[in-house]
Amino acid sequence: MQPTASDLQADPDVHFGMLANGMRFAIMRNTTPPGQVSVRFRIGSGSLDENDNQQGLAHFLEHMAFKGSTNVAEGEIIRILQRKGLAFGPAINASTSYDETVYMLDLPEVDADTVSTGLMLMRETASELTLDAGAFDRERGVILSEERLRDTPQYRAWLGIMNSLLAGRRATMRAPIGKTDIISNAPVELVRDYYRANYRPERATLIVVGDIDPAAMEIEIRQRFGDWKAVGPPPIKPALGTLVTKRESADVFVVPGGMTRVQIAWTRPYDAAPDTFAKRRTKLIEDLGLRVLNRRLSTIASKANAPFISADVGSQDLLHSAHVVEIKANSETDKWQAALTTIDQEQRRIQEFGIGQAELDREILGYRSALQAAAAGAATRTTTDIASMLVSSVDDDQVFTSPAKDLSLFETITNGVTAAEVNQALLHAFSGNGPQVVLQTARSPQGGADTVRQVYDASKAIAVSAPSGAADVAWPYTQFGEPGAVVERRTVEDLGLTMVRFSNGVRLTVKPTKLRANEVLVREDIGRGRLGLPKDRSAPIWASRAVVRSGLKAMDCQDIQNALTGNIVGVNFSVGDSSFKFGGRTRTEDLATQLQLMTAYTSDPAYRPEAFKRVQQVRLSGLDQDQATPGGVVSRNFPRLVHSGDRRWTFPDRAELSAAKPEDFETLFRPMVSNGPIDITIVGDVTVDDAIRMTAETFGALPPRPEAAPSNDWGDVRFPAANKAPVLLTHSGRADIAAAAFGVPVGDLLSDLPRSFTANIAVQIFQNRLIDQFRIAEGASYAPRVDLDLSDEVPGYGYAYFSVETEPEKVPRFYALVDEIANDLWSHDVSPDELARAREPIVETLKHRQQGNEYWIEYLHHAQTDSRRLDRIRDNLSGYGKVTAGDIRVFAATYFSPEKFWKFVVLPATVR
């Protein structure tokens, strides 16, 4: 925020202050989106402040903040906020880390009552929590469920490596989730002790950002929090330990179900000095050098027969415990030796021979472009983003500088900076404790860490030579032929749309907005997606990431990045049910280049075998990881199951993945991308005429494309039939966690819009009841989830889906509870309050989404050929307001009958 010892100027639009009791605050008026406000209440205390017998109780206390206080009864906090339009999770949340606990409210309205309610609840959290023993005992199961949910191979690998890097520091002994025996058995007095000791005004920061009057907000903050007094003297902050001095080392972390990764790291003591210009300059110079190394490794990864799947380089101040510089590479299981050898030699190459001025200039150009884009869009930064950045600035002890100031500092720092200075910074980066070499693997190599050291020593014995200078590459895709002629143009006045058809058949829908300054989103839909694929066999849809990674015929993916370094452009590709999709986000001045990039991928793609093989190896490497948790098994198998085994939604097994060939990849995507109908949507800070002109020069100049003809040939797309005995799959992870789910067919989206509004509210009511009973009352699950997926393409297809992760022995109780809820919903009308608590968060979330370009880019695709999509936009808000308790009851009687439920369970293989 604004450390007093800094020479940096904080953002003048933020009002900082402190109460007499020591509590700090930051207030900022921001009107993107209008009529909303974000509140963040940060306590500068986390797991590092726990005593040995309190491990996990800082996080436990965060949960208890929603369990009642002096002025709010247990169970009422969430209900109060739901009535105000907040949804638990997206708009009501909290998190606990090593050194902080943050409570978050995103208020959908700025009326006095809503804002006062939000501040009242934060004040209750500060010192008025009841911490009832019964509520504490009921919440134990939720915490333990969260611990099981977090305990993935990725988490275990991260924790093990982090603890190795930070050896000697207290952080290695204080993971925020804590110890299960303490969570299970600690008396409530221990959490009360932690609360009294650590929730203190001098450790607290309140952040309020939004469409508010800062002066009035300060008055209310002072009134609400001025009487908060700490209990007792401040506790002595625990000693954080001393970073263990390490010379060169090698280690192996065996993580069953995890991916194979090698890394080389250097650590040095954390610099706790104030955030100053000099400190930022030092960091930026180091970052620029590491970015050059990162680009070199990315170039290697993009080539045929690359020694690793991917690699990256970076530095960070890790948990205020050490400065860490890391070079990491993901590899195939049996190729870690080549990966380690390559990252070692590239690190030594840059250390011995340095970087070239041209390389440095390229990184400065790219860095500058990003800062320029941020500065140009500063006026329409979102309230939630600003609030989150303010919290981060407190946690990082940084001055909260404006985007304009960040750009100015960058220009000052980089003015005259030389490659020689950056090379000196790199020498310092690769010093300190290290190199620390780590192999993360599912199965230890024979010889363990000694083998890793031998491979590393053998690599170091090989002398490295100076890098060959990479030639500058120019962007060649600027001309695609004669600009296309507009043969049809019409406007949709009430929605602010312009729809165009070019002579080659390409369609364009444009919605100019000022929702985000200098931001433009582009979406291209081609062909029919999954629905246009053969129904009798699987296709390598899973390789879709390789389309972009393949680059273009004239240049590979890395050359594209190098050529367009100074532009804010990008492209992604995915396969949807109804289209193949390219998408990108750019700034207004780069829209022409963005359209050139997407047109080039459409008209001149490369489909390089090496890109396919990289994606293939990523998928193969992830199979064991997916199998290690119930959630992984669900995510991999769910699309197939809810489409009754349709091969178009089936993820291949290991044998099928291994057998796939690069030619299969090209055979699938080339004809679809090269020949399918094209539908372009452009949303954002652009004029209609500019969007039409630029599209005419790119997509409009392509050879003719066929019209997007309606089709009824979808194949047998259907939700699975009801079952009494659930479909059973197994996972290879812990024996104390399972997943249970059920789904019901509901119907499609567009053929009956009123039904879709009722369905959304009905499933929210169902979810709220699941949370109230299965999570809150019984403590059986951390996060019951709901999904409503109504097809906007296939008539009649759509479903509601509910799932939990819980202990295996509690699966029968979940299904019994589901039946109870369903029977009650079709037997009785819901109360007006329950209906409102389900509806208001949906409506307010929708209002919020409508204030972003992402909403419009999603809703407008294919709108030219299906006017029901426009009706959906028009009716979205009013449609929810028309849903009655009677509608919910009729819907539940029609769809929530237990005999219609399709059930699905994932149990641990050890207890099947």
Q: Report pLDDT digits (tens) over 43-94.
A: 999 999 999 999 999 999 999 999 999 999 999 999 999 999 999 888 899 9
The model's confidence at residue 248, banded by pLDDT at 50, 70 and 90, is very high
Q: Which domain-ending residue is among 226, 257, 285? A: 226
The answer to whether residue 822 scores a pLDDT higher than 60 is: yes
858 found inside a domain: yes
Q: 514 and 435 in one domain?
A: no
Does 197 map to a domain?
yes
Residues 284, 477: Cα–Cα separation, whole Å? 33
Within this chain, do residues 444 and 576 fall inside the same structural domain, yes or no?
no
Provide the CB-side half-sphere exposure for 800 (13 A, CA): 25
Which pLDDT does position 715 carry in this prediction?
Answer: 75
- Under the banding of pLDDT at 50, 70 and 90, the label for residue 711 is low
422 pLDDT higher than 60: yes
pLDDT at 531 over 80: yes
The Cα 611–Cα 551 span in angstroms is 9
Q: Does residue 465 lie within any of the structural domains?
A: no
Label residue 4 by pLDDT band (50, 70, 90): low
Claim to verify: residue 198 and residue 113 sit in the same structural domain: yes
Task: Measure the CA–CA gap between 509 and 860, rounded to whole angstroms.
Answer: 8
Mark which of 193, 226, 259 sits at the end of a domain. 226
Residue 412 pLDDT greater than 80, yes or no: yes
Shared domain for 219 and 262, answered yes or no, is no
pLDDT-derived band at 709, boundaries 50, 70, 90: low
Co-location of 661 and 743 in the same domain: no
Check whether residue 520 and residue 569 sit in a common domain.
Answer: yes
Q: What is the pLDDT of residues 850-880, one digit of tens each?
A: 999 999 999 999 999 999 999 999 999 999 9
749 and 643 together in one domain:
no
In 3D space, the residue among 432, 463, 277 whose CA is nearest the CA of residue 352 turns out to be 463
Based on the domain organization, do 422 and 532 belong to the same domain? no
What was the pLDDT predicted at 472?
83
| 658 and 787, same domain (yes or no) | no
pLDDT at 167: 97
Within a domain: 522: yes
Q: Residue 887 and residue 714: Cα distance in Å, rounded?
A: 31
Strands 204-210 and 24-29: parallel
Total domains in the chain come to: 4
How far is the C-alpha of 665 from the C-alpha of 863, rounded, in Å? 30
Contact 129, 605 (CB under 8 A): no
Average pLDDT over residues 426-448: 97
* Three-class SS state of 92: strand
Confidence of residue 20 (pLDDT cuts 50, 70, 90): very high
- Is residue 277 situated within a structural domain? yes
Average of pLDDT values for 558-573? 96
Predicted TM-score of the model (pTM): 0.96
CA-CA-CA-CA torsion sign (835, 841, 844, 845): negative
Q: What is the mean pLDDT of residues 310-315?
A: 97
Mean pLDDT of the chain: 95
Whether residue 339 is contained in a domain is answered as: yes
Closest CA to 152 of 622, 619, 628: 628
Confidence label for 710 from pLDDT (cuts 50, 70 and 90)? low
- pLDDT at position 911 is 60
pLDDT given at position 2: 55
Burial (Cβ within 10 Å: 0-12, 13-18, ≥19) of residue 247:
exposed
Q: For residues 357 and 1, what is the distance between their CA atoms, to the nearest angstrom?
A: 35
Candidates 174, 144, 97, 95; CA nearest to 734 is 144
Residue pLDDT, tens place only, 139-197:
999 999 999 999 999 999 999 999 999 999 999 999 999 999 999 999 999 999 999 99
pLDDT at 511: 98
The answer as to whether 219 is a domain residue is yes
Look at residues 77, 115, 155 and name the one whose alpha carbon lies nearest to residue 629. 155
| CB neighbour list of residue 834: distance below 8 Å, 6 or more residues apart | 765, 768
Residue-level pLDDT at 783: 87
Could you say which of 649, 676, 703 is where a domain stops?
A: 676
The CATH number of whichever domain residue 423 belongs to comes to 3.30.830.10
CA 414 to chain centre: 32
Same domain, 91 and 198: yes
The answer as to whether 77 is a domain residue is yes
Q: Is the alpha carbon torsion for 286, 291, 292, 294 positive or negative?
A: positive
More confident residue, 471 or 565: 565
**What's the pLDDT at 44?**
97
What is the layout of strands, in order, in the sheet containing 572-575?
Answer: 486-492, 497-502, 507-512, 678-684, 520-526, 580-586, 572-575
In the three-class reduction of DSSP (H, G, I as helix; E, B as strand; rest coil), residue 238 is classed as: coil
Per-residue pLDDT at 706? 87
State which residues form the domain around 567: 486-676
* Position 3 confidence tier, pLDDT thresholds 50, 70, 90: low
The yes-or-no verdict on residue 109 having pLDDT over 80 is: yes
CA distances from 49 to 54, 113, 239, 317, 909 (A): 9, 35, 10, 19, 39
What pLDDT is recorded for position 536?
79
What pLDDT is attached to residue 478? 98
Task: Please give the structure tokens belonging to residue 7.
Answer: 């020479």
Residues of the chain above pLDDT 70, percent = 99
Are residues 423 and 551 both part of a single domain? no
What average pLDDT score do residues 35-45 get? 97
Main-chain phi, psi angles of 71, to 5 degrees: -110, 5
Q: Are residues 263 and 300 in the same domain?
A: yes
